[in-house]
């Protein structure tokens, strides 16, 4: 991995006039909660170890009947309801996930149909935990060039189906959830996406890595126990160099906040709130201290959701707004980092932007979503079974 230099953002800061803002944000999480103690039932770990190293107490894990599409649609519907928009008002859909269930068709295509969006482009974007911020950056560029009017961005994870539950180094960290942002041109002089920074350094690609199980040459001794008692999550294998990722994350988070604040003519201390990717409470506390920010201005909810990868920034933002921590006119920095290695951030002037957390009691569309999902995934099953 190369050294991060001042201003390394990879993209034009884009501090020009208004034109694109966040119209609404929504989030959804599965209902079942899995505590650290529950993990310690089958993993050589403890609540004390996980809490002291990561800040995580518990995470959500999707039940077998819940699909990625279902979770994505719940977050998207929450955002649409908050914005007072119907699916038809959306002309472009971008999904991002580190635990995607089909290579194709894109999840975004299935979501477009499920929500009744207009037949504009729908595609998936891969930038791991930076995915939602990358997608928002792309959405803003599309909107500013007139290629799109209202873009739905959804980060969704059912990480529990992508983990090796025998690997205590990764199994304790990740969780399931979804977050959605709607970006558009709708006039509101009070709010704005002031600046965007996106970057990547493929030199750190092997620090955090996942591949389809079928494409990984598994050593026989690893495969044998899996065959004796097949674990449920044979989809992917996640490998992480925790220390290297920790070092990268603290450095890049600090750099992103400094650079984004400067893009808006500000110092980090002028920011009302930083909403970072929820990787680990120690990473967030270290970055806050280096930036001279009081801890309460660095949003944290990793304790109850774990690392929800691409969903984590919108999920944290929804909670912060619901707690009254974002007021109109506030300058807010969203900052994410993850595998790639990738990083990205947005500087927002907050408006009266509505947010909503999905109400899990509303299950009215589950059957329809299951139908769309079955149509998309059944050929895959047929190939597997051959
Ligand atoms: C993963 C992380 C918590 C590990 O903490 P660490 O202090 O670096 O721990 P190490 O990996 O050095 O391991 C220390 C010991 O704890 C053990 N250990 C690892 N996971 C454990 C677990 N869940 N429970 C108990 N012990 C564990 C290791 O085996 C090692 O034991 P050893 O000393 O006998 O070899 C930490 O590196 C981290 O948070 N990294 C960033 C991860 C991240 O944010 N990823 C996502 C970014 S998008």
What tens-digit pLDDT sequence spans the chain (386 residues)? 444 443 333 344 444 444 899 999 999 999 999 999 999 988 999 999 999 999 999 999 999 889 999 999 999 999 999 999 999 999 999 999 999 988 899 999 999 999 999 999 999 999 999 999 999 999 999 999 999 999 999 999 998 888 888 889 999 999 999 999 999 987 777 789 999 999 999 999 989 988 765 444 444 444 444 434 434 444 567 888 999 999 999 999 999 999 999 999 999 999 999 999 999 999 999 999 999 999 999 999 999 999 999 999 999 999 999 999 999 999 999 999 999 999 999 999 998 888 999 876 554 455 555 555 555 555 444 334 43
pLDDT at 163: 84
- What residues does each domain of the chain span? 20-364
Ligand 1 pocket test, candidate residues 41, 54, 242, most atoms within 8 A of CB = 242
Question: What are the tokens at 294?
Answer: 């009081």
What predicted TM-score, i.e. pTM, was given to this entire model? 0.87
User: What is the chain's Cα-based Rg?
Assistant: 20
- Whether 363 sits among the annotated catalytic residues: the reply is no
CATH architecture of 20-364: 3-Layer(aba) Sandwich (3.40)
Query: Which is it for strands 192-200 and 208-212: parallel, antiparallel or unpaired?
Result: unpaired
Q: How far is the CA of 169 from the centre of ligand 1 (A)?
A: 6
53 lines ligand 1 (CB under 6 A): yes
What is residue 381's three-state secondary structure?
Answer: helix
Give yes or no: 277 in active site: yes
Name the token pair of 238.
């996640």
**From the candidates 20, 95, 117, 129, which is the catalytic residue?**
129
Beta-carbon contacts of residue 361 (< 8 Å; ≥ 6 apart): none
Give catalytic status of residue 36 as yes or no.
no
> Angle 101-107-109 (CA atoms, 0-180°, nearest 5)?
150
In short, whether 245's Cβ falls inside 6 Å of ligand 1 is yes
- pLDDT for 161 equals 85
Cis peptide bond upstream of 350, omega within 30: no
User: Ligand 1 centre and the CA of 154: distance in Å?
Assistant: 30
* Predicted local distance difference test score (pLDDT) of residue 367: 54
> What are the structure tokens assigned to 197, written together?
């920074």
Cα(364) to centroid of ligand 1, in Å?
41
């Amino acid at each position: 991995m190369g050294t991060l230099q001042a201003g390394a953002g990879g993209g034009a800061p884009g501090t020009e006039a208004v034109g694109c803002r966040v119209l609404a944000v929504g989030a959804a999480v599965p209902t079942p909660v899995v505590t650290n103690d529950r993990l310690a039932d089958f993993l050589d770990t403890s609540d004390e170890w996980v809490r002291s190293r990561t800040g995580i107490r518990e995470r959500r894990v999707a039940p077998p009947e819940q699909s990625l599409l279902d979770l994505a649609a719940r977050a998207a519907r929450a955002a649409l309801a908050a914005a007072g928009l119907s699916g038809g008002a959306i002309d472009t859909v971008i999904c991002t996930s580190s635990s995607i269930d089909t290579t194709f068709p894109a999840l975004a295509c299935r979501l477009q149909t499920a929500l009744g969006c207009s037949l504009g482009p729908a595609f998936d974007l891969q930038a791991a935990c930076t995915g939602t911020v990358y997608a928002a950056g792309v959405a803003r560029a599309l909107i500013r060039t007139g290629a799109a009017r209202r873009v739905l961005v959804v980060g969704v994870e059912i990480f529990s189906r992508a983990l090796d539950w025998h690997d205590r180094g990764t199994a304790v960290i990740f969780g399931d959830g979804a977050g959605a942002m709607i970006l558009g041109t709708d006039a509101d002089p009070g709010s704005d996406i002031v600046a965007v920074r996106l970057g990547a350094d493929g030199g750190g690609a092997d620090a955090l890595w996942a591949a389809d199980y079928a494409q990984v040459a598994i050593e026989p001794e690893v495969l044998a126990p899996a065959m004796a008692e097949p674990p449920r999550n044979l989809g992917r294998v996640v490998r992480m160099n925790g220390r290297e990722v920790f070092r990268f994350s603290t450095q890049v988070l600090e750099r992103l906040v400094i650079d984004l604040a400067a893009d808006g003519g500000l110092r980090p201390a002028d920011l009302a709130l930083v909403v970072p990717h929820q990787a680990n409470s120690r990473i967030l506390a270290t970055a806050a201290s280096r930036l001279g920010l009081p801890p309460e201005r660095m949003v944290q909810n990793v304790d109850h959701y774990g690392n929800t990868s691409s969903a984590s920034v919108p999920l944290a933002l929804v909670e912060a707004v619901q707690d009254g921590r974002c007021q109109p006119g506030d300058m807010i920095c969203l900052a994410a980092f993850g595998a790639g290695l990738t990083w990205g951030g947005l500087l927002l002037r907050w408006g009266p932007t509505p947010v909503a957390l999905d109400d899990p009691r509303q299950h009215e569309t589950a059957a329809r979503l299951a139908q769309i999902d079955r149509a998309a995934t059944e050929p895959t099953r047929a190939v597997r079974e051959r």
